[in-house]
Structure 1
Amino acid sequence: MSNLAEKNVQNGHIDHAKQQRIAGISSVLGSTIEWYDFFLYGTMAAIIFPQLFFPLHDPYVATLLTFSTYAIGYIARPIGGIFFGHLGDKIGRKVSLIATLIIMGITTVLIGLLPGFASIGVWAPVLVTVLRFIQGIAIGGEWPGSVLISMEWGTKNNRGFMATLPQIGVPLGLILGTAVTSLFITLSGDSFQTWGWRVPFILSLALVILGLLIRMNLLETPSFQKVLNEKEMPKLPFISVIKDYPKQVVSGVFANVSSDIAFGVFAFYTTTYGITHLGLDKSIFVNATLVGAMIAVVSIFVTGYVSDKINPKKILGFGNILLILWALPFFYLLNTKSTGLIFLAIIVAFIIHSTMWAPLAPVIASSFPAHLRYSGSAITFMLRSVIGGGFAPLISTFLLHKFESGYAISAYIIIAAIIALFALRYVDIKYHKAD
């Protein structure tokens, strides 16, 4: 293992600037592909999956069941985080990233080939749930690996920016998924329901091949090589993280949970809210989400750049304050049923989310030393995902059914942001520009 790493990384013979560029491109592209696959499911869950996989239930129950399978993808993330975190801290970042990309690509294509309830009965929801679970495992290893391999190839002056690059993959993945979905939604008759929805899933295979070609040219990071050369590797990195860095895990989870809850509501549940509660056409929300995601790409890029000038922790706190201020106006604007105001609500929501999403990466990754960074980042990020985004659409569905008002969901978002601000006080990012 050490010999392989030394063969891959010869510090005196590396074009560091070139590897930094490859790392940045690889992280953005890989993250985009993974999130395209993951978000594609979320989009289809709001539009068509209740009819395809849970047709025997009333609309409310079918939506709950569909978003339950969505939540399962988040529940699986910590499992993927533990497994790939162990692999990433013991063998290397690159191996884990190649594995997660292959797994994500295969499961996404299989979802696109899956027969519906009308063809195979109860096996349809069972199989889609299993595949969703495997998707979650792959994401559990992808995010921390992408962040680390980009950040650890960065220099002292741009590590924060490099760490945020994979975050751009989230809106890019959402843009791709939403754009392709919008294209096929326009099919006439029942073409979209019978075969059109499958094409976006199957197209994922081409993106995966491209991502693999780029990642094969990426070397292991200097930080990981230094760990191999100078430090005895822990037998079980996961246990070492829990034992030696519990404060970093707990504070990191709750300081970042609001961003996932906000995204789960803004990016996914809003479409369901608009269709079922407001009685509006789904294309309004799909297109508004697409525009919001486009703007978020720029917003994340700018915020990532600023994170090297200002402490990422302060930027994250500012984002949570903005979230508190926008939670109520968001649903007020949606309730107007005005297309222009709906677009405004969603676009501003995406910009606010960007101010939390961009600094999240350096805040979490910089909380752990290099020899436990993959496992620590994976555990922290994935636990916040389970508590936050995984259940956000499900909880939002329940709150709307219970209180018949979107403002109940606003209260849910505000409470999460207040908890995040409190937890942020205990976050320590002393490894921000270290190694």
Structure 2
Amino acid sequence: MRFAWAISRLPWGCEMNADQPGATPLSEEDAHRQLRRAVIASTIGTTIEWYDFFLYSTVTGLIFAKLYFPESDPLVGTLQAFLIYAVGFIARPVGAAIFGHYGDRVGRKATLIVTLLLMGLATFAVAFVPTYASIGIWGAVLLTVLRFIQGVGVGGEWGGSVLMSMEWARTNSHRGFVASWPQFGVPAGLFIANLVVLAVSQFSGDSFMTWGWRVPFLLSIVLVAIGLYIRLNILETPIFAKLLAENRIEKTPMLEVIRRQPKDILLSALARMAEQAPFYLYTAFVFTYGVKTLHVSRDLMLSAVLAAAVLQFVTIPLFGHVSDLIGRKRMYMIGAVAVGIFGFIYFRMVDTRSPALIVTAVVLSLVPHAMLYGPQAAFIAESFTGRLRYSGASLGYQLASVIAGGPAPLIATALFAYYRTGYAIAIYIAVCAVISLLAAWRMGDYTNKDISREYDDKHGLGDHGHASHPA
């Protein structure tokens, strides 16, 4: 209750927005300036948060099994390390529930600042966790607690960052492109995390296992300070400001969205299966598979993932833009098919053990992912009515972490241990793709429709009907 009391009184919360009724309307130039600020703030903020999250993912596959489970069989140690890794995904729906509530109650901006601080401080603390050699199993326990806090932070981050950008869009025709920029934070965070690990790995050499791996976690505190400064200098979104002025703020938005739009929450989670599970196989499990099974160098795998992340700098906003042209649902379904097919191509290439083909496969693996991830932010967020949007979009998005992202490396490790072939993992990816394809087919498509009005009752869009069944 003290937390609820504190966040509701944050001084950077629901300030009067210039677009709010009763205030002086923003000029077109000022509105564009605010849109640019919101997009930049959201993108940089998500980049920092995903740097923190992916840093843990990268180091898990390279280091944690050896340092925190040294007495286990190598395969068992890897499974144990990925179990801690999965805790972050289990925590993400918890973060979505907590911060979705406050995002719809006190505003997008205040909530985003709290999630940034929570995530950053937890990541910084990882640098100080003693290993098994120092405190035994308690090192793994501390990692688990910090990973859970990380998951709570990132669970509340996504919804706010997407809405901060999308709800400042002045027209309906480019929401997919605008909302894709917070998604850009994922490859940017992945790139920076892998770049820092690669640089420290080369700099520290044999000392990487002792102290080198801690340096990237220490650096996160600098990034948090930068992100905090940027987020403090943006305004609340005009859609939330309007809801506040019209006194349409729900007392319990999370419970209300579960009651009113349960189908949209479930479909949003299932639609992410083809995006999230393969992504963590291609960016986290790949280190274990590449180094321990294919016997290629750690630095080669890091470099390949870096190159894949750079390619996504272009492909994520590109496919977000394409979704504005051909429709969110159509773009998403095409992406799901591409993901299902490419898994087989991927393992055919990497299993050759050719460094050139391995790098090519890793780089190309994130192109089908971008076909989903580019339009995904708008596709999911548009499905929920304004006053419940932070809660609904966050919960639907983060529930996929429990059924897709978190279990994916564990499932892949178990499948490979039993079948001894990467094609078993490719079949798993294909199953995820089919589930997402069917879920996307059942979702509504709000491309180019007005989302500034409430559309879950008769006072909303009228002919659009309930949010689950738009025209």
The CA distance in 1 between the partners of 2:435 and 2:204, in whole Å, is 47
Alignment length (residue pairs): 435
**Is 1:135 the counterpart of 2:150 in the alignment?**
yes
Which residue in 2 is equivalent to 1:407? 423
In the alignment, residue 7 of structure 1 is paired with which amino acid?
Answer: M
Are residues 188 and 33 of structure 1, via their aligned partners in 2, closer, same or farther at CA, if it must alter by over 3 Å?
A: closer
Match of 2:456 in 1: none
**Aligned residue for 2:3?**
none
Q: Secondary structure at the match of 2:272?
A: helix
Which residue does 1:124 correspond to in 2? Answer: 139
Are positions 1:144 and 2:153 aligned together?
no
- Match for 2:267: what amino acid? S
User: Which runs of 5 or more residues in structure 2 are unaligned?
Assistant: 1-7, 453-471
CA apart distance, 1:5:
3.2
- CA deviations on 1:215-256 (whole Å, 9 max, x unpaired) are 001110000011112243222111111110011111111112
Alignment correspondent of 1:24 = 39
| Cα deviation code 1:247-270 (max 9, x no counterpart) | 111111111221001101111111
Matched, 1:223 2:232: no
Q: What is the CA distance between 1:147 and its match in structure 2? A: 0.3
- Deviation by residue 1:384-416 (Cα, 9 ceiling, x = unmatched): 122111111111000000111111000000001
Q: Does 1:155 align with 2:164?
A: no
Moved over 4 A (4+): 1-4
1:4-403, aligned counterparts within 5 Å? 5=14, 7-11=16-20, 12-14=24-26, 15-156=30-171, 157-187=173-203, 190-403=206-419
Letter in 1 for 2:334: F
SS of alignment partner, residue 239 of structure 2: helix
What's the offset of the Cα at 1:345? 0.7
- How many angstroms does 1:18 deviate by? 1.1
Counterpart amino acid of residue 316 in structure 2:
I
1:82 touches 1:238 (CA, 8 Å); kept in 2? yes
Question: Where in structure 1 are there 5+ consecutive unaligned residues?
Answer: none
Residue 76 of structure 1 aligns to a residue whose secondary structure is: helix
What do the CA deviations read for 1:300-324 (whole angstroms, capped 9, x no partner)?
1211222222211111111111112
TM-fit CA distance, 1:66 = 0.6
1:174-210 superposed Cα distances (whole Å, 9 cap, x missing partner): 0000001001111455311111101101101111111
Greater CA drift, 368-377 or 253-262 = 253-262
Structure 2 letter corresponding to 1:22: R
Q: Which amino acid aligns with 1:325?
A: I
Query: 1:178 is paired with a residue of what secondary structure?
Result: helix
Aligned-CA RMSD value: 1.6
How far off its partner does 1:7 sit? 2.6
Q: In the TM superposition, what is the alpha-carbon distance from 1:34 to its structure 2 partner?
A: 0.3
Farther-moved stretch of structure 1 (55-64 vs 301-310)? 301-310
TM-score by length of 1: 0.97
Q: Offset at 1:432?
A: 5.6
Give the whole-Å Cα distance in 2 for the aligned partners of 1:431 and 1:188. Answer: 50
| Counterpart-to-counterpart distance in 2, 1:282 and 1:371 | 47
Structure 2: which amino acid aligns with 1:154? A
Deviations 1:348-392 (A, max 9, x none): 111111111111101110000110000001100000122111111
CA contact (8 A) 1:74 1:390 kept: yes
Q: Note if contact 2:155-2:394 (Cα within 8 Å) is conserved in structure 1.
A: yes
**Deviation, structure 1 residue 6:** 5.3
Deviations 1:290-349 (A, max 9, x none): 101100111112112222222111111111111122111100100101111111111111
TM-score when normalising by structure 2: 0.90
Are 1:428 and 2:437 counterparts?
no
What amino acid does structure 2 have at the position aligned with 1:219?
A: L
Counterpart Cα distance in 1 of 2:175 and 2:336:
23
Deviations 1:33-85 (A, max 9, x none): 00000000000001111111111111011100111111100000010000000
For the residue of structure 2 that corresponds to 1:124, the secondary structure is helix
Quote the Cα distance in structure 2 between the aligned partners of 1:289 and 1:189: 20
2:463 matched to which residue of 1? none
Q: 1: CA distance between counterparts of 2:158 and 2:57?
A: 18
